[in-house]
Structure formats: C-alpha cells, structure tokens
Amino acid sequence: MKNIYSNIHSFNKKVIKKTVLFLKQGNIIGLPTETVYGLAGNAYSKKAVKKIFKLKKRPNRNPLIIHYDKIKKANQDVILNKKFFKLYKNFCPGPLTFVLKKNKFSKIASSATANLNTVAIRFPNNRVIRAVLKQLPFPLAMPSANISSTLSPVNAFDVFDDFKKKIKIIINDGSSKIGIESTVVDLTGKPKILRPGIISSSDIRNCLKVNLSRKKSKLKSPGLLKKHYSPGIPVIIGKKPKKLEHAYIVFGKKFKNLSNYFNLSKKADLKEAAANLYKTMRKIKKKGFKKIFVAKIPNLGPGIAINDRLKRASR
Ligand code: TXA
Ligand code: MG
C-alpha cells in the first residue's frame, strides 16, 4: 500500500542534511518546536517568504517570527538591548518571542516583517529545529504550520492535515511539549505582552523588575484583530452543553467521565491543560461534534494564555 504520509520523516542525521539542503534551495519545510509545529523558510529570501504566506493563506500585513539558534546570529539583524539579555538568560532557548528594532544591516526580507522597522525573534528549544538552525547560514521565518486563523499544529500529522504533500518534508518529533504558541513581548519601548503564553506576564515582570505596559498598541498580533485559533465549529465559553452531540471541555477533578466530556487536566495543572488544548479541540472536531462548550478555566499563569486562545476561537 502507498504510504500517504511519505513526506513525514523521523529525526535523524540524514533527514537534517536533506532539510538543510532543501531550505538552502528556497523550499518550505514543516518543523517541530517546543511550542507548536512551524512552517519554515529562509528569512533572507523574498521568494521563500512569499511561499510561506501563500501556503498559509496569511494576510501580508501579518509579520512572521524569525528563528535563531544563537544570539550572535540575531545580533546581525536586530538591535539587542539590556532587557532582552535579561530575559534571554532566564528563558531561552524557550517559548518566548522578542519584538526588537531591526538594524540597518539586517538581511531579513522586508515582506517577512510586513515592512515594519521591528522584528519578532525567537530561540526555539527543540532538538530538531536547533540541529537545522545550527547548520544554516540564515535564520528561519517560521509561523505556525496551519492555514491562517485555524488551530496551530502540535504534531507532524496535524501539519499534514493542512498541507498534505504541498511541503516536501515534515519532520516528526512527537507532540509539542508546550502545545500553545510562544509568549510575544515587545521590547521596543516599555515592555508589553502582545500575545500571552506559558511564560506569563508576572514571570517577565519578576525577571525585569519593571511593570509592563497595558496600553493598547497600534501594531496588533493577528488574533487581536479577528477570529483566530478556530477549530472550525462554534466554541461557547462558560456554559454547559445540553446535548450529547455537543462536546464539553472541562478542567479539574470535579467533572464526570462522560463520552462528550474532555478534561484538559484532571489534576488541575494549567501547564498540562495548555499542552492538551489544541490536541483536544482537534480530537473533538474529528469525532464529529457540532459545537464545543468550555467550562471556566482559572485565569492565572498559563490559564491566561488558554483563555486568550479560547476567547479568540469563540468569536
Ligand atoms: O511559538 C511560536 O511562536 C510559533 C513557533 C512555530 O515558533 N510561531 C508562531 O508564529 O506562533 P505565528 O506566525 O503563528 O505568530 C507570530 C505572532 C503573530 O501574532 C504576529 O503578529 C507577531 O508574532 N509578530 C511577528 N512579528 C511582529 C512584529 N514585528 N511586531 C509585533 N508582532 C509581531
Ligand atoms: Mg499562528
């Protein structure tokens, strides 16, 4: 029988070599990170960046995150500052993205940053993406590997679901450990969270020892503008379903084990819940449920990021 997943490969030296070659030739590859899977291309190539936007059906005005393995390489494209170094020391490599000013020598394709004078950079912490970045002479522009406005992928098969054979290689490294996208922090002025994530605003405040800005910024992350992270069926927050054909996402130990109940974390662990969020929504959709109801999830730490994604999915 023909293997329909023939473009999904597991991690080994040979695959990394091929991936590096394909990326150098301007191709787009599906790669794992600790947050979600990404759609990677040469950030210095206008052509590669164009392919990413086209594959994702992403609006041009929504900039991409540029991924590096080392500070030294990032230093060639952005102006690093003290706050960056403090946060880097505490959290990187890891699920934190920094918005910084672009420097005048930067080779990043202007389309990758939607012609802004700022760049979002990240140092992902996953053995595959790090092995690839290490061997490349350029950084990777890498949005989540899903069609724009839908759920981010947390394993190689989720990537396949959206792009099939349109990408030559998808490297499989199991389920993404964190399961939701990185925290985005703007460091171009008073630090400000643009997208909440596992690293919370209090983690950042405690590290920098400054209060964060709560002002609404002119530049918004995509989900701030419209519907995002959508599973493709209605999501209703804070209510219980009345029918069995409606799924109920719950959290903690007080819930029953009914066939339409999906518990994000029986032990009420918000990190575990975040890791299960997209996985669970995809499962519910695949099982044919018509609607998703969601129980209340504590709005603290990773719970803030979970509620942010749920709220946008419910629009
Ligand atoms: O965890 C992640 O960050 C994943 C993995 C693959 O690294 N990537 C990811 O990329 O979530 P994407 O494209 O799905 O989301 C990028 C976010 C968007 O909200 C975008 O608006 C914001 O980063 N962004 C990118 N460049 C920006 C900039 N210069 N200023 C402000 N926001 C920016
Ligand atoms: Mg995304």
Q: Is the CB of 150 under 6 A from ligand 1?
A: no
Tokens of 75: 């230093």
Quote the radius of gyration of the chain (alpha carbons, Å).
19
> DSSP character for 165?
G
Question: Where along the chain do its domains lie?
Answer: 8-208, 235-313
Whether 143 is in the pocket of ligand 1, judged by its Cβ within 6 Å, is yes
Written as one letter, the residue type at 294 is: V
Q: Is 118 in the pocket of ligand 1 (CB under 6 A)?
A: yes
Token pair 């925290």 is at which residue? Answer: 183
Q: Which ligand is nearest to the CA of 219?
A: 1
Task: Please tell us whether the domain made up of 8-208 is placed in CATH 1.10.3720.10.
Answer: no
Tokens of 240: 């219980």
Q: Which residue's CA is the nearest one to ligand 1's atom 32?
A: 221
Reply yes or no: is the peptide bond before residue 93 cis, omega within 30 of 0.
Answer: yes
Domains 8-208 and 235-313 are alike in CATH topology = no
Could you read off the pLDDT tens digit of each residue along the chain, which spans 315 residues? 679 999 999 999 999 999 999 999 999 999 999 999 999 999 999 999 999 999 999 999 999 999 999 999 999 999 999 999 999 999 999 999 999 999 999 999 999 999 999 999 999 999 999 999 999 999 999 999 999 999 999 999 999 999 999 999 999 999 999 999 999 999 999 999 999 999 999 999 999 999 999 887 655 554 455 678 899 999 999 999 999 999 999 999 999 889 999 999 999 999 999 999 999 999 999 999 999 999 999 999 999 999 999 999 998
Instruction: Give CB contacts under 8 A, 24+ apart, made by 281-289.
Output: 281/151, 281/231, 281/249, 281/313, 282/151, 282/158, 282/231, 284/231, 284/233, 284/247, 284/249, 285/231, 285/232, 285/233, 287/247, 289/233, 289/245, 289/246, 289/247, 289/260
66 ligand 1 Cβ < 6 A: no
Name the residue of 57, 65, 125 whose CB sits within 8 Å of the most ligand 1 atoms, as the mutation to test its pocket: 65
In CATH, the number for domain 235-313 is 3.40.50.11030
